[in-house]
């Protein structure tokens, strides 16, 4: 009986640090992944139509999304649909509407806008992460 207790205690002493390391290596939650891609379906010289498509490329549902980008000076959004678009200087932010924020894995949503000027977006962020599919903030 005494041998069994010592064996169990010794085994626990050896395995406890191993289980602790495994626990540290496993993330507390899976990071969602998504992409945001930009297209310019129409260009009429002094203005254009811009379109962003947000796609959930991960394995968990995204409950909301925010796309951020910069336009060069002289380029701006004049009207938008299917997202709430705001600006601070040349930095633009688009947030989902109440009805199109949830994206199941593999699904996508698009929003568009009319713009003035001739610049293209840069420094894109999706939910605080990279627009090209890197991890995002849950």
Range of the domain at 83: 33-135
> How many C-beta atoms surround the C-beta of residue 67 within 10 A?
24
Mean confidence (pLDDT) of the chain: 84
Rounded to the nearest angstrom, the gap between the alpha carbon of residue 88 and the centroid of all alpha carbons in its chain is 20
Percent above pLDDT 90 for the chain: 69
Q: What is the pLDDT of residue 106?
A: 97
pTM over 0.85: no
Kindly report, residue by residue over 17-39, the tens digit of the pLDDT: 444 444 443 333 344 699 999 99
- Kindly write down the DSSP assignment for every residue of 25-75, as one continuous string: HS-SSPPPEEEEEEEEEEE-SSEEEEEEEEEE-SSS-B---EEEEE--TT-
Report if residue 9 sits inside a domain: no
State the residue for tokens 């701006």: 76
Report if residue 7 sits inside a domain: no
Number of structural domains in the chain: 1
If we measure between CA atoms, which residue out of 42, 59, 63, 60 comes closest to residue 51? 42
- 8/66 Cα distance (integer angstroms): 52
Domain CATH for 121: 2.60.40.290
Report if residue 69 sits inside a domain: yes
């Amino acid at each position: 009986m005494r041998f069994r207790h010592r064996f169990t205690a010794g085994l626990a002493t050896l395995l406890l640090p191993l289980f602790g390391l495994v626990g540290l290596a496993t993330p507390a939650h899976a990071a969602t992944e998504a992409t945001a891609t930009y297209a310019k379906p129409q260009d009429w010289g002094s203005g254009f139509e811009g379109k962003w498509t947000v796609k959930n490329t991960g394995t968990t549902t995204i409950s909301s999304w925010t796309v951020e980008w910069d336009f060069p000076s002289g380029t701006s959004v004049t009207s938008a649909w299917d997202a709430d678009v705001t600006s601070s200087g040349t930095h633009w932010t688009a947030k989902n509407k109440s009805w199109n924020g949830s994206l199941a894995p593999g699904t996508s949503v698009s929003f568009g806008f009319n713009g003035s000027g001739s610049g293209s977006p840069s420094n894109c962020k999706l939910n605080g992460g990279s627009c090209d599919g890197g991890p995002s903030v849950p």
